[in-house]
């Protein structure tokens, strides 16, 4: 009689990429009994890599038990379920290598993949967090519990794992700025970037993708009123030393309205341009979902995936960081108005507060809103405000814009 097993796998990264681990539970399909709990600290990797590694660990363990068994793999990662089921393409080379390893663990036809909601994958998720917590505390970096007890192999593996954890910490300590409570120490005079989103365009009012390389849309009449309100607010504050802008028309028009009020020149910095959305430019989200369903799902699942003909959020992040570094190096201790777009501003905010790049999915920025970030000489950063929009309250704006 062919044996059947259920593998519940999960992976997680605190930051994407960041300190990561997988957690895997192997059960007997007939009884539901937990046969083994597996987890491993992976160092600095992405969520998707950790998810794949969890699936592979479960498959390889079951193969050791019975290479002729049937396996139901349960994950809360729709991306991996669809890719391993053959319904979605695997474009990222690292993902392709991991998928090949997963397929090699069993003969074709012996493994099925099932997506489950996150709440039904709590056991594996708990293992992920237990593993990351333990590894970062300098304790174990591998869990292999059979019947609730660690196996003998763990003793040797934990020693190696602890060395890897310490090595990762040493590397992290060498490149990360010191952790200092802002306001509790003299960190020197920061360069302050006052981040302002441009005013509305007809494309933004219709909620259409509008990025670098697409239609270079001008401000709509509403957008000009928003820019004038922004200019009035900044005149009242009276603390802007200089203005820089994205090269796109809508940002330069917004910056021009503010510059006239402040009697400043505008410097154009290409790195602050909006992310390039490629073939999706000019389409609404619903239209993209209808025409490019697979590509959209993959894009939403990973910041390393680019729209067809466009650039990924990670690529955009790299050029925005270079632009920020230019501003901080050229204008130390000054207050610089940066007129930019949704994505660059979110990238800057995430960087300032130490959030993962995928946090940009959970930020909302109205047109001509203000977010203020401080960049200190020792590498520390702080956010003083986010998406301020009180100066726009007298302007009638369509809901959700």
Q: How high is the pLDDT of residue 184?
A: 47
Cα dihedral 79/67/101/51 (nearest 10): 40
| Inside any domain, residue 186 | no
- d(CA 262, CA 243) in angstroms, rounded, equals 9
- SS3 of residue 336 by DSSP: strand
Cα dihedral 118/124/128/131 (nearest 10): 160
Q: Which of 263, 199, 269 has its CA nearest to residue 229?
A: 199
Q: How high is the pLDDT of residue 281?
A: 96
pLDDT digits (tens, 9 = 90+) for 261-310: 999 999 999 999 999 999 999 999 999 999 999 999 999 888 999 999 99
- Asked if residue 140 and residue 22 are part of one domain, the reply reads yes
- Is the Cβ–Cβ distance between 307 and 285 less than 8 Å? no
Q: Which CATH number characterizes residue 156's domain?
A: 3.30.420.10
- Asked if residue 197 and residue 165 are part of one domain, the reply reads no
- The pTM (predicted TM-score) of the whole model is 0.58
- pLDDT beneath 70: ranges in the chain: 147-188, 396-401
- d(CA 63, CA 55) in angstroms, rounded, equals 12
How many structural domains compose the chain? 2
Residues taking part in catalysis: 198, 274
Q: How high is the pLDDT of residue 400?
A: 52
Q: How high is the pLDDT of residue 187?
A: 53
Q: How high is the pLDDT of residue 170?
A: 42
- d(CA 251, CA 195) in angstroms, rounded, equals 12
- What b/e string do you get for 351-370 counting C-beta neighbours within 10 Å, with b at 16 or more? bbeebbbbbbeeeebbbbbb
- Asked if residue 253 and residue 321 are part of one domain, the reply reads yes
User: Domain end: 175, 210, 238, which one?
Assistant: 175
pLDDT digits (tens, 9 = 90+) for 62-115: 998 999 999 999 999 988 998 998 888 887 888 888 999 999 988 778 999 999
| Inside any domain, residue 120 | yes
Q: The domain containing residue 94 runs over which residues?
A: 4-175
Q: How high is the pLDDT of residue 147?
A: 61
């Amino acid at each position: 009689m062919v044996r059947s097993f259920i593998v519940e796998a999960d992976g997680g990264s605190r930051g994407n990429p960041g300190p990561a681990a997988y957690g895997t539970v192997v059960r007997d399909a007939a009884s539901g009994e937990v046969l083994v709990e597996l987890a491993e600290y992976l160092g600095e990797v992405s969520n998707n890599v950790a998810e794949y590694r969890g699936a592979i660990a479960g498959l390889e363990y079951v193969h050791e038990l019975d290479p002729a068994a049937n396996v139901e793999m349960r994950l809360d990662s729709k991306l991996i379920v669809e890719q391993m089921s053959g319904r979605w393409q695997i474009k990222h080379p690292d993902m392709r290598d991991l998928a090949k390893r997963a397929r090699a663990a069993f003969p074709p036809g012996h493994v099925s993949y099932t997506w489950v909601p996150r709440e039904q994958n709590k056991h594996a998720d708990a293992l992920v967090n237990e593993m990351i917590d333990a590894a970062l505390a300098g304790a174990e970096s591998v869990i292999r519990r059979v019947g609730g007890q660690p196996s003998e192999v763990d003793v040797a593996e934990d020693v190696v794992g602890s060395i890897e954890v310490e090595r990762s910490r040493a590397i992290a300590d060498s490149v990360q700025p010191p952790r200092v409570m802002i306001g509790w120490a003299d960190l020197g005079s920061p360069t302050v970037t006052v981040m302002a989103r441009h005013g509305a365009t007809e494309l933004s009012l219709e909620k259409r993708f509008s990025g670098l390389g697409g239609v270079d849309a001008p401000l709509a009449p509403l957008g000009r009123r928003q820019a004038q309100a922004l200019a009035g607010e900044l005149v009242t504050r009276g603390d802007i030393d200089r203005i820089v802008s994205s090269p796109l028309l809508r940002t330069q028009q917004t910056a021009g309205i503010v510059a006239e009020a402040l009697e400043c020149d505008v410097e154009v910095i290409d790195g602050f341009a909006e992310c390039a959305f490629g073939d999706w430019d000019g389409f609404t989200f619903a239209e993209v979902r209808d025409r490019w369903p697979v590509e959209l799902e993959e894009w939403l699942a990973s910041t390393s995936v680019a729209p067809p003909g466009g650039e990924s959020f990670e690529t955009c992040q790299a050029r925005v960081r270079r632009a920020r570094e230019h501003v901080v190096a050229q204008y130390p201790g000054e207050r610089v108005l940066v007129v930019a777009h949704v994505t660059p501003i979110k990238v800057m905010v995430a960087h300032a507060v130490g959030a993962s790049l995928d946090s940009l999915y959970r930020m909302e920025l109205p047109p001509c809103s203000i977010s203020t970030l401080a960049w200190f000489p020792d590498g520390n950063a702080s956010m003083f405000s986010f998406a301020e929009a009180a100066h726009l309250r007298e302007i009638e704006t369509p809901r959700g814009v």
